[in-house]
Amino acid sequence: MINWLQNLGRRAMRVFERLGRAHLFLWQVMTGLPQAILRPSLVVTQLYSVGVLSMVIIVVSGLNVGMVLGLQMYNTLSDFGSEESLGQVVALSLVRELGPVVAALLFAGRAGSALTAEIGLMKATEQLAGMAMMAVDPLRRVVVPRFVAACIAMPLLAAIFSAVGVMGGYFVGVGLLGVDSGSFWSTMQSRVDWHEDVLNGIIKSMAFGFVAAWIAVFEGYDAIPTSEGVSRATTRTVVETALAVLALDFILTALMFGVD
Amino acid sequence: MQQTRIIEIAVGFFIACGMAALFVLAMKVSNITSIGDNKGYTLTAHFDNIGGLKVRAPVTIGGVRIGRVTGVGYDEQRYQAVVTLQIDDKYRRLPEDSSASIFTAGLLGEQYVALEPGGSDTFLKNGDSVKLTQSALVMEQLIGRFLFQKASEGTTQ
């Protein structure tokens, strides 16, 4: 019994310790931010690996999600004889929820895990220690540009996801199923509000980008410097980002749309 | 050198794509064009029953949208619902004796306020109130009235 309690206590302490370290780490990253603005070339290089290389998966899955939404919603809506509101349904669900959330989950899998593995391996092969030896702050040189790049890339990827998804819904709805093109766009435009829906979606994706970037770089920086430790950190990045994004999504949705 | 150039071009392409997507969301998907016409004048109208009318519902004349509902409240003095209508500045010529009714778009559609122009030569100004109003039809009342009528027909025969 006592042993069990001790185990529980030790686990809880470890969780809180990690949480505290993560926040201290975030604070250090924040103080390093001006450095990233002074040296944009580092950020640009990271934007390439974080943003450009994620674009393929974002575009392909956005298109597919939009097409599936169009197909499924058409079946349901045609029961009520209101196929014209297909555009509105597709656009609202993409802009409000699916765009930011699915893009963040894909981002965690595609870019977050890569960031963690990269930083973790740098730590395992003592490159970070070597940098510190040469009086180059590894936090500012390695971590901050990656963090900034991920924060910039995420809202853009989510916007691309939503826009491509709407196109996918358009292809299926108008091209295949014969919904009228004019009413597809007009119901969409009359229902989707720039401020309420699109802007809130962008704010959501910014929050997700921040959290995903934070988790990815922290897990890499905090990884146990062995090959097993790095692999475990990479797994944790994906799992924790997914959980954090979904939980945060509920909170943000309740704050934005729940209270009338 | 060539390598960084390619990377920079790719990043530029990525940013441009993101901006283009935002632009599409703004112009094509949402109604950002209606942001500018937030200016307008407001009218109020008292209704006995507004049914399911909500804020942001359209205000129409002859089916043409000329404004939207900006507020729904309750007037404790008159025991009536008071609806605030914001009319676009373009539509200045609303006769004073216009009437307002609450209708439903389609069978399952949302409710909206329809204005019917009157014949007066003076026009409604900012803050004026629409005097003639017709409440929303509530389905239960309608059915209740119908049943009541049927029952009274049965007793007279």
Chain A residues with CB-CB distance to B18 below 8 A:
51, 155-157, 159-160
- Chain A nearest-CA residue for B36: A194
* Contact criterion met (CB below 8 Å) for B68 and B111: no
Per-residue confidence (pLDDT) for residue B32, from 0 to 100: 62
Chain A residues with CB-CB distance to B25 below 8 A:
95, 159, 162-163, 166, 198
B93 with B111, same domain: the answer is yes
B53 with B99, same domain: the answer is yes
Burial string for B9-46 (b: 16+ CB within 10 Å, else e) reads: ebbeebbebbeebbebbbebbbbbeeeeeeebbebbbb
The answer to whether position A30 is within a domain reads: no
The answer to whether position A10 is within a domain reads: no
Q: How many CB pairs under 8 A join A and B?
A: 84
The Cα of B110 is separated from the nearest Cα of chain A by a number of Å equal to 12
- Chain A nearest-CA residue for B5: A45
| Residue in A44, A166, A195 closest to B11 by CB | A44
Q: State pTM to two decimals.
A: 0.76
The answer to whether position A21 is within a domain reads: no
B9 with B74, same domain: the answer is no
Query: What residues of A are in the B interface, CB distance below 8 Å?
Result: 41, 44-45, 47-48, 51-52, 55, 80, 82, 91, 95, 153, 155-157, 159-160, 162-164, 166, 185, 188-190, 192-195, 197-198, 202
Per-residue confidence (pLDDT) for residue B157, from 0 to 100: 62
Q: What is the pLDDT of residues B26-64, one digit of tens each?
A: 877 776 655 445 678 889 999 988 888 887 788 889 888
B19 with B78, same domain: the answer is no
The answer to whether position B121 is within a domain reads: yes
Which residue range forms the structural domain that includes residue A123? 57-253
The answer to whether position B155 is within a domain reads: no
The answer to whether position B72 is within a domain reads: yes
* The total number of structural domains that make up chain A: 1
* The total number of structural domains that make up chain B: 2
* Contact criterion met (CB below 8 Å) for A83 and A77: yes
B50 with B109, same domain: the answer is yes
- Chain B nearest-CA residue for A187: B29
The answer to whether position A16 is within a domain reads: no
The pLDDT tens digits along chain A (260 residues) read: 888 889 899 999 988 999 999 999 999 888 888 877 888 888 888 888 888 889 999 999 999 999 999 999 998 888 887 877 888 889 989 998 899 999 999 999 999 999 999 999 999 998 988 988 998 888 888 899 999 999 999 999 999 999 999 999 999 988 888 888 878 888 888 778 777 788 889 999 999 999 999 999 999 998 998 989 999 999 999 999 999 999 999 999 888 876 55
Longest dimension (CA), chain B: 100
B45 with B23, same domain: the answer is no
Chain B residues with CB-CB distance to A48 below 8 A:
7, 10-11, 14
Query: Residue B45 has which token pair?
Result: 């109208």
The answer to whether position B157 is within a domain reads: no
B9 touches chain A (CB under 8 A): no
Per-residue confidence (pLDDT) for residue B63, from 0 to 100: 84
Backbone phi, then psi, for B67, in 5-degree steps? 175, -165
Longest dimension (CA), chain A: 70
**Alpha-carbon gap, residue A166 to A179, rounded angstroms:** 14
The answer to whether position B136 is within a domain reads: yes
B104 three-state secondary structure: strand
Q: Which amino acid belongs to residue A19?
A: L
- Chain A nearest-CA residue for B19: A156
The answer to whether position B156 is within a domain reads: no
Which residue range forms the structural domain that includes residue B48? 38-144
Residues of chain B with pLDDT under 70: 1, 31-38, 107-108, 156-157
Per-residue confidence (pLDDT) for residue B91, from 0 to 100: 85
Task: Tell me how far apart the terminal alpha carbons of chain A are, to the nearest angstrom.
Answer: 49
